[in-house]
Amino acid sequence: MILITGGARSGKSGLAERMAARHGERVLYIATSLVTDDEMADRIAHHRASRPATWSTHEGFTGLGEVLRTQGAQHDAIMLECITTLMTNLMFAHAGDTPPEQMDFAAIETYIEQQIDALMQAAADCPAPLYLVTNEVGFGIVPEHLLARRFRDIAGRINQRLAANATEVWLVISGIDMKIKGVS
């Protein structure tokens, strides 16, 4: 499991795509985004069109451990884009329409941890290398709103958990990638 982190538009996805492509043509791209508006639909369409025709795509944000178990052996590499979006979707799937002031953030974090643990367990048994893309959300100021602060805290802890279990961790800043964990 290789974790690639950095800020928004830093070049993380490009690095993950290049690294996954080095293993062969049969790459599974796990896309965790949801179409929430026209702009997001355009982004998703652009991403789909830019991927090589030999890559297959799984779109979803739940049960990803099972996706790795059932599809891992059929692919040369797997790329998951992105953990931060996955956490956002899991948070709102668990909380539903609950206002942020009434959300049980401990329960939400436990739910996200369970999904991430299942993903990491499946990754350990998966014959294909797994490239995880995530956002480093801790570089900015403390968010003004409760929901954003709690999300930042959860994301930071989940990223630490993933980094601790990853064989390699890469940080990308302004298109420059640096390996920060793993054998060179």
| CATH number of the domain residue 52 falls in | 3.40.50.300
- For 29-68, what is each residue's pLDDT tens digit? 999 988 778 888 888 788 878 888 999 999 999 999 999 9
Dihedral sign, CA of 64, 66, 69, 72?
negative
Q: How many CB atoms lie within 10 A of CB 144?
A: 7
Polymer length in residues for the chain: 184
Q: How many domains does the chain have?
A: 1
In tens, the pLDDT along 147-163 reads: 999 999 999 999 999 99
Confidence (pTM): 0.94
| Look-up of token digits 């690095």 | 15
Q: Is 47 in the active site? A: yes
CA distance 62 to 163: 21
Residue 102's domain comprises 2-181
Coil, helix or strand at residue 29 = strand
The SS3 of residue 146 is: helix
Out of 47, 58, 75, 94, the active site residue is 47
- Nearest one of 156, 162, 81 to 119, comparing CA atoms: 162
- Tokens at residue 183, please? 């054998």
